Amino acid sequence: MDLPALDPGQDPRLAREQDRRRLLRAVLASAAFVALLWWMHLARHLWGQDLDALALRPGEPWGLIGILTAPLLHASVAHLVSNTLPLLLLGSLALATLPRATPRALGLIWLLAGAGTWLIGRPSLHLGASGLSHGLMVFLFLAGLIRRDRPAIATALITFFLYGGMLLTVLPREPGVSWEYHLSGAVGGLVAALLWARLDPPPPRKRYSWEDEDDARAEDPRDHEFEPPAPQDVPVLWQRAEPGPTRGVVLPFRRPDADTPGPARSPAERPDQ
């Protein structure tokens, strides 16, 4: 795997300040969305409002509204708590690492998670933001594999280390858990990574001296007249002589006699009896 080194020529203090501001904006945006989820849940119980009509109902025409509203609703406090930390961490990592691609990815995950659940879901009420968290996990992991730069790779490793177990929940395991929402959200994250993983510009790459030398040689070859030529440009000064008609002498080896020990002799060399 090729991980290009970052450019040390930029101001370190300015770079750290930009990273800090980007991370702070990402955390605040993720915290604002999580706060909206808590406000919706508290308003539902404090004001006695029944918001089940906004849940996703697979196969029902009136249930299509849940594609937009179901991620904002949760069945219980425990359900909301289980989605709070993944959304806060994954949302912050996504917005800090891929600030341009993440808003588009979130919109696509939101829609595909709801539409997929409406098509393949069981006849029940489906709600919660777990489809978003599953989609973000898949999106960040695959984006790191596609981009292969240091921030994206680090984000992919952190994401898989913390929430790689989400991949096991895309299959039916527990009753009452909408695995359809998890699976559809993961598919949305996959599609978003394939579409927009490279939308954000790569970090500045360190440029080595030999790259500048090659560029300068290509621009003005006269400045390098004393440089040794390339191997393919060096003339051959010595040629192998063509072989003559006689290429060698074949020496025959006599077979030893079966009844005479020692070296073999020809009939002319044997003494007379």
Q: Which residue has the higher pLDDT, 194 or 263?
A: 194
Rounded average pLDDT over 166-172 = 89
Say which range, 43-52, 121-130, 134-143, 246-255, has the weakest mean pLDDT.
246-255
Rounded average pLDDT over 79-103 = 94
223 falls in which pLDDT band (50, 70, 90)? low
d(CA 83, CA 178): 13
* Average pLDDT value for the chain: 82
Please tell me the predicted confidence (pLDDT) of residue 272: 47
d(CA 110, CA 124): 19
Asked if residues 110 and 71 have their Cβ atoms less than 8 Å apart, the reply is yes
Give the length of the chain: 273
d(CA 254, CA 174): 89
Give residue-wise pLDDT tens across range 238-250.
Answer: 776 666 666 666 7
Q: Is the pTM of this model over 0.85?
A: no
12 falls in which pLDDT band (50, 70, 90)? confident
The DSSP code sequence of 56-92 is B-TT-GGGGGHHHHGGG--SSHHHHHHHHHHHHHHHH
Rounded average pLDDT over 176-195 = 93
d(CA 35, CA 39): 6
The residues spanned by each domain of the chain are 12-196
Radius of gyration of the chain (CA): 36
237 falls in which pLDDT band (50, 70, 90)? confident
59: left (phi over 0), alpha (psi -120 to 50) or beta: left
- 1 has pLDDT over 50: no
Nearest to 87 by CA among 100, 199, 219, 74: 74
Please tell me the predicted confidence (pLDDT) of residue 271: 47
Please tell me the predicted confidence (pLDDT) of residue 72: 92
CATH of 12-196, picked from 1.50.10.10, 1.10.3720.10, 3.40.50.300, 1.20.1540.10, is 1.20.1540.10
Give residue-wise pLDDT tens across range 67-77.
Answer: 999 999 988 89
